[in-house]
Amino acid sequence: MPSIPTLADVCMVPLGTGSPSVSDFVTKIEKKIRESPLKSTLHSAGTTIEGPWDDVMKLIGELHEYSHELGYVRVHTDIRVGTRTDKVQTAEDKVNAVLSKLDQ
C-alpha cells in the first residue's frame, strides 16, 4: 500500500436515516477518528486527517464499516486529498501560511 504523507479532508453523511440531523452520526465518527493515532482537526464541513496514505484510507474505510455496524445502511463521503513531494506540510502549516500572509 502507498505510504506517502497525505492530508485528507473528509465529509461523511448517512443516507436513509429518517431524520435530517446528522450530529449523532458525526459525533460517533469523530470519536472513532480521535481514538486513532492519526492527527485530525474537526471543522463545520468535515474533519481533516493527516498521515500516510494507507493509514488514512484504512481509517476512512473502517469508519464506513463502523457506520454500517451501527446500523447506518448507506454512507456517502466526500474526500479532498492532497500529496506533494516538494515539502512536508501539516494542516496547521497550511492555515498558518495563509494567516501570516494575511497579516502582512
Return residues touching a copy of itself (CB under 8 A): 1-2, 4, 6-7, 9, 11, 13-24, 26-27, 30-31, 34, 41-46, 48, 53-54, 57-58, 60-62, 64-65, 68, 73-86, 91-92, 94-95, 97-99, 101-102
Q: How far is the CB of 52 from a copy of itself (least distance, A)?
A: 9
Three-state SS for 68?
helix
Q: How far is the CB of 56 from a copy of itself (least distance, A)?
A: 9
Element (H, E) at 14: strand 5-15
CA-closest candidate to residue 17, choices 67, 77, 79:
67
